[in-house]
Amino acid sequence: MRVYSAQADVFNARLKGYETSIQAQGEVIRAQSTTNKARSDTFLAKWQGYTAAVGARGEVARTQLESGRQELAAYNTRVQAAVAYANLRNTIYSTKSDLAARNADLRFRVQIAEADSTRAFGAVVAQLGQANADIFKQQAAAALTGMNALAVQSITD
């Protein structure tokens, strides 16, 4: 009887050891999940800041273009005094303004493309983090199932 009692005590000690190990693994998974959430929140905040900066740059470009258009309108008013000279200057100025507008538009589109690329990268990182958390969750569930099987076996023995 003492032998069985000693064996039962050893088995119970092992079971408690497994239980402690599984709980520790669960805490590690929770910590990783919290870390991944924090990283995701940080990325989201950076993304929102970057989006605001890109929007502000776009507004600056639009304001500059509008300012340029207003300068062009004022210039056209002065041009009527000397038609030949003004037409030549107007053509030069319009060409520069159009190139600046196209350049600003292309820069804005590049910034949007960069922002979309950064967002897509962040989404992939978040998906990988979630997949990692799912794997750890499945491992923990499998370990708990094994412990339950051992517990049932010890009860039936």
| DSSP output for 78-129 | HHTTSHHHHHHHHHHHHHHHHHHHHHHHHHHHHHHHHHHHHHHHHHHHHHHH
Least confident of 9-13, 19-23, 106-110, 117-121: 9-13
- ∠ at Cα 61 (103, 78), nearest 5°? 90
Give the tokens for residue 67. Answer: 């300012």
Task: Calculate the average pLDDT of the chain.
Answer: 86
Quick check: 151 and 8 in contact, CB under 8 A? no
Flag whether pLDDT at 154 surpasses 80.
Answer: no
Quick check: 115 and 50 in contact, CB under 8 A? yes
Contacts of 32 (CB under 8 A, 6+ apart): 132, 133, 136
Flag whether pLDDT at 110 surpasses 90.
Answer: yes
Q: What three-state secondary structure class fits 82?
A: coil
Flag whether pLDDT at 114 surpasses 80.
Answer: yes
**Amino acid residing at 34:** T
